[in-house]
Amino acid sequence: MWRFLESLPQHGPHGPYTLLNSTMPIIRQFLDDTVDLRPNLRLSRHSLAALTAAIDLSVTQGWPKDIEVLLFVFWLAHAASYRVVAAACNIPKSTVHDIAHRVTKAVVGILGRTIRLPNPDQLEDIAAGFSRLGGSPALRTVVGAIDGCHVHIKPPAAHQLDFLNRKLFHSI
């Protein structure tokens, strides 16, 4: 599926700064269709391809759209600095910055088409579903859940220990 990337010239269309270094581990994994990307990117190949197809990147740094989305998702998945992504992919830090901002803007541009908040009638049905799934009427006001995400908070003074997570910071 991604084999066209292996045939890129020694210099990209915009000079040596768009040269794809296929010896870098994340690029090698991306180019190998048999490797599961979820451990490194937290997305499947199918989801990565769907994201790439959904966004418009009319202006690029000279990199293929697939690579720009790959770098963006790698940056998000690892909560990494531009410097870390630049080192991991052997590209300039300023390029990582530009790609991260451009792809972020493109993703924000499709939010209205991809994420829809429920209307009031749907909220009641969703809450009933949470209550049914949890087997408790206490969940009848729950309309959403965040999985695997710790949101940093400033804990209430009286109950600080109640908000201390296993990673030893306060969160919900």
Residue 10: pLDDT band by 50, 70, 90 thresholds?
A: very low
Residue 172 near residue 151 (C-beta atoms within 8 A): yes
Is residue 9 pLDDT above 50, yes or no? Answer: no
User: Could you report the per-residue pLDDT of 43-69, keeping only the tens digit for each?
Assistant: 999 999 999 999 998 876 678 899 999
Confidence label for 21 from pLDDT (cuts 50, 70 and 90): confident
Which range among 5-9, 21-25, 68-72, 128-132 shows the weakest confidence by mean pLDDT? Answer: 5-9
Taking all residues of the chain, what is their mean pLDDT, rounded to a whole number? 85
- How confident is the model at residue 26, as a pLDDT? 86
Window from 86-100, 102-116, 143-157 with minimum mean pLDDT: 143-157
CA angle, 16 then 52 then 56, to 5°: 85
Residue 40's alpha-carbon distances to 6, 45, 64, 69, 166, in angstroms, are 21, 11, 20, 14, 23
Predicted pLDDT of residue 145: 81
Which tens digits make up the pLDDT trace of 107-129?
Answer: 999 998 888 888 988 999 999 99
- Residue 120 CB neighbour total at 10 angstroms: 6
Q: Above pLDDT 90, what percent of the chain?
A: 38
* pTM assigned to the model: 0.67
Q: Which structure tokens are listed for 9?
A: 């010239």
